[in-house]
Amino acid sequence: MDGITAGNLKMVFGDFVAVRDVSFEVAAGEFVTLLGPSGCGKTTLLKMISGFLTPTGGTIHLSGVDVTRTPPEKRDTALCFQSYALFPHLSVLENLEFGLRQKRVPPAERRQRLDAVIDNLDLALHLGKLPNQLSGGQQQRVALGRALVMRPNVILFDEPLSNLDAKLRDQVRIEIRRIQRDFGLTAIYVTHDQAEALAMSDRVFVMNGGKIEQADTPEELYSAPKTSFVADFIGSANVLEADVTSTNGNGDVELSTPLGPLKANSGAPPMGRKVKICWRPEHADLTATGENRLSARVTHRAFQGHFTDLHLDDGGNGYRIQTNQPSIREGDTVTFSLRSDQIVLLEALA
């Protein structure tokens, strides 16, 4: 198969397990993001794919070839990371052609590859400059260009935008996606920024404690998280414990929760008699009079422009909702409905 296949990858440092039995497939041309909190093993996984770390166990195949023990320079991968790693004493052009010279690519082909990248990344006006004469965004483009001239099949990014300010990050994100498509690259991108992951990726692998908790499209992760960790990490969610009181073959589930009885239908049977459930603050509907009616007192209100964030308290149970009714005040009691298909069943409790 084209693309990347990892089978039971494991990385142990001393007696610390940084990556535990991780398996996945990334299709050729796919853009996948590894997302998770600091220390969850994202960079370690990326380094195993690029060859800078040899796994303690498991295998990596690139385009069907076992590269588990192949050194980085012999893999068809390029790595881009946040510090850019440009040679400070070399001009932009010299930085761009450095790898090509090292690989003894003949001059005519060198010229052709450089021209394509210089044109695509709009670098023609900067070729004679040194890296410290460029802005952060321009340096990032040169770093990308240096990777692209090598014509890799796989490009790996480790937090490439963390040195850029918010506005520039938005621009470079779009640029990275365009380039990845133009060059037909398979990409793995590491970030701990969930907005970046959701905006850029075909699929996101959410990592926690050295494992992939869920690998899905951004839309699936948001609407159908499988664990409370994912529900909490992607967007914001109200997570609570519930007892399953009845189920039927159509996926209808009745629940007893600290907020009262609730009905859920997320299309899948519950994982046990005692489960965690979640629902999104924006799904509270203050105008509907349908199922799952809840009432609570507003303890805090934060106006956010196009919506208002309300912190609620129901007999000691706190949670949040969002509304577009700006007239609600602290101390008011609000009543709202939740659709049963917006209540998601998560993992079973012991």
DSSP 285: B
Please say which residue, 42 or 126, places its beta carbon nearer to ligand ATP.
42
Does position 33 interact with ligand ATP (CB under 6 A)? The reply is no
Q: What character string, x for contact with ligand ATP (CB under 6 A) and - otherwise, covers 12-31? A: -x--x-x-------------
Report the candidate in 284, 279, 280 with the shortest Cα–Cα distance to residue 324.
284
In the complex, least distance from residue 9 CB atom to ligand ATP, rounded to whole angstroms = 12
Site for ligand ATP in 184-203 (CB under 6 A): 192
Please say which residue, 214 or 323, places its beta carbon nearer to ligand ATP.
214
8 A C-beta contact, residue 172 and residue 115: no
315 burial (CB, 10 Å; 0-12 / 13-18 / 19+) is exposed
8 A C-beta contact, residue 159 and residue 200: no
Please say which residue, 26 or 255, places its beta carbon nearer to ligand ATP.
26
Q: Could you give the CA distance from residue 290 to residue 210 in angstroms, rounded to a whole number?
A: 42
In the complex, least distance from residue 21 CB atom to ligand ATP, rounded to whole angstroms = 15
8 A C-beta contact, residue 33 and residue 189: yes
Pick from 41, 131, 145, 152 the residue near ligand ATP by CB under 6 A: 41
Collect all residues with Cβ–Cβ distance below 8 Å to 68 and sequence separation of at least 6.
54, 55, 58, 59, 60
Please say which residue, 193 or 282, places its beta carbon nearer to ligand ATP.
193
For ligand ATP, which stretch binds (CB under 6 A), given 38-46, 195-203, 263-271, 337-345? 38-46
In the complex, least distance from residue 16 CB atom to ligand ATP, rounded to whole angstroms = 6
Q: What character string, x for contact with ligand ATP (CB under 6 A) and - otherwise, covers 128-167? A: ----------------------------------------
For ligand ATP, which stretch binds (CB under 6 A), given 11-19, 119-127, 313-321, 329-337? 11-19
Which residue type occupies 139? Q
Does position 35 interact with ligand ATP (CB under 6 A)? The reply is no
Does position 39 interact with ligand ATP (CB under 6 A)? The reply is yes
The SS3 assignment for 334 reads: strand
Does position 44 interact with ligand ATP (CB under 6 A)? The reply is yes
The SS3 assignment for 335 reads: strand
Strands 186-191 and 31-35 come out as parallel
Pick from 42, 146, 203, 226 the residue near ligand ATP by CB under 6 A: 42
Q: How many residues bind ligand ATP (CB under 6 A)?
A: 12
Q: What character string, x for contact with ligand ATP (CB under 6 A) and - otherwise, covers 256-285? A: ------------------------------
- Hey, which bits of 194-316 come out as E strands? 203-208, 211-216, 238-247, 253-257, 260-264, 274-279, 293-303, 308-314
Does position 3 interact with ligand ATP (CB under 6 A)? The reply is no
Q: Could you give the CA distance from residue 158 to residue 42 in angstroms, rounded to a whole number?
A: 9
Q: Which residues pair with 294 in a beta bridge?
A: 336
Q: What are phi and psi of 78, to 5 degrees?
A: -130, 145
Residues lying near ligand ATP in the complex (CB under 6 A) are found at 13, 16, 18, 36, 38-44, 192
